[in-house]
Amino acid sequence: MLFSGLFFAGIIVAYAVWFTTLMPVFWTNRLFNISDIFGELRDTAQYPLDLYTSALRIVFTFVVPFAFMTTFPAKALLGQVVWWWLPVAIFMASATLFASSRLWQFALKRYSGASA
């Protein structure tokens, strides 16, 4: 149950961060390979969070929350996560989804059209 909750929260976080990294396309018309930004960020998530320093752990857990995408679900399968990470993960998923939605609304209001 803990794994399922953390896994689905991780999917939501991944979607929201991916969506946010693509948002600059609204303001520029020549952003080639913008999707590579998410790929580079995602590559940092393939390593366990324990390999990073404490400052980077905080960044990857709360600023760019890729730990909720990979590390916490994997640790839940191994039985190494305490139950209170689930509400934190749900909050982070909700916060990143809300932030990406607000950024989308902001971008749409300032979009001048593809022919501009």
Tens of pLDDT, residues 95-113: 999 999 999 898 888 776 6
Distance (Å, whole) CA 30 – CA 73: 37
73 or 29, which is more confident? 73
Can you give the residue range of the structural domain that contains 14? 2-109
Q: For residue 116, tell me if it sits in a domain.
A: no
Distance (Å, whole) CA 39 – CA 30: 19
Q: For residue 114, tell me if it sits in a domain.
A: no
Q: How distant, in Å, are the alpha carbons of 32, 46, 52, 67 from that of 61? A: 29, 14, 11, 5
Q: Provide the domain count of the chain.
A: 1
Q: For residue 115, tell me if it sits in a domain.
A: no
Of the ranges 1-5, 17-21, 59-63, which is most confident? 1-5
59: Cβ contacts below 8 Å, ≥ 6 apart: none
